[in-house]
Amino acid sequence: SSSSFPFINLFFTLLICNFLLLTANDEPRLVLFSGLNVNFVYIDKAMTWSKAQIHCRENYSDLASVRNKEDNNRITDVIPGRKTVWIGLFRDSWKWSDGSSLSFQYWSRNEPNGPTEICGAAYIENSGKWVDANCVNQFQFICYGKS
């Protein structure tokens, strides 16, 4: 309903303000944003896919699973600049790190394309569309935790 729009606008305004108030230093920068039943957290520290997965599992739930276009949009909205970030996608017939199936897909054109590229990343410069990448690449990443 239209009465919920001021709350949503306020939420995103506060989210953006909180994001902008964080300063870059030697510590990983965390940006928390909430969905209907999960919280996504952007980690501004580059790691390999496996190390990112371990970090997410130790501190949150897992690397982010993108269930729909809205989740993908929320992730791309808070990533600063034109970064490529790890998400929880990997090739074992392409599924999510938490073991769930891939019901929503948002691949970039001609992706996935690399026989040795078995980890998935969101390419923010291309509307957050997904690419397959070599898992030893180091990118920032998105974790999720249950609300």
Query: pLDDT tens string for the chain (147 positions)?
Result: 444 444 333 333 333 323 322 323 334 444 444 445 678 899 999 999 999 999 999 999 999 999 999 999 888 887 877 789 999 999 988 999 999 999 999 999 999 998 899 999 999 888 899 999 999 999 999 999 865
Predicted local confidence at residue 56, as pLDDT: 96
Task: State the pLDDT at residue 37.
Answer: 67
Tokens of 35: 């969905």
Domains of the chain: 2-146 (3.10.100.10)
DSSP 107-138: BPTT-S--TT--EEEEEGGGTTEEEEE-TTS-
The number of C-alpha atoms within 13 Å of 22 and in the hemisphere containing its C-beta is 20
Q: Which helix (H) or strand (E) holds 76?
A: helix 69-78
**Per residue in 18-29, pLDDT tens?**
332 232 333 444
pLDDT of residue 147: 56
